[in-house]
Structure 1
Amino acid sequence: MIRAAATQAVVPSTASDGDLEGRILKAVYVGDHMEYRIALDEPRLELFAIGSDVANPLQQGAQVTVSFDPTRLILMPANCASPKARRPSLNKNPLNRFK
């Protein structure tokens, strides 16, 4: 089971050569890139993706296929702790661990 994928690994396209089918729920222009929220048909879940083609953005409501860039994909088993849970607390001084 995929627990998380790096946003740069998620590749939405209007071509029919992707691995999964879905549609664009939200498309936002953010200066030098696009941010997309995608609803997949099967499995039923939402993905967040970043696209670099701001000249030809995917439109909200567009049917897309989604594939994953294997050079950027990081898979974690479902029973793995969240990376967020492993981050050090920002309230603690990281230098204290050396005392």
Structure 2
Amino acid sequence: ACCSCDQFTQGYWKNHPDWPSPPCGVDYGKFFSSGQTWLEVLQTPPKGGNAYYILAHQYIAAKLNVCNGCWAPCGICTAEELFNKYTPADIGTLKGNDPLRQQFL
């Protein structure tokens, strides 16, 4: 149990892009160093199991839920550190049990 707010999935946010005004200072126009907007990242399927997009989709849903008044899950800061350091191209080439890919997963 967390709080009395509505927590929504990545699918909900992808299909309802009228996102909350971010009290947490989020720029929806730029998703870290991906070269994409938040919505573009959310609409990008994780081709070939690209762990960047798998984590990004979960992160975006969690962050939007936080901006909507919910609590922040434990891994949100770790995800931000990874997104600040790596791009989708960096992670998209990693396969299987690569340690960095596993960290994103």
TM-score, scaled relative to structure 1: 0.29
Judging by fraction of residues, say which structure has more strand. 1
Judging by fraction of residues, say which structure has more helix. 2
Greater gyration radius:
1
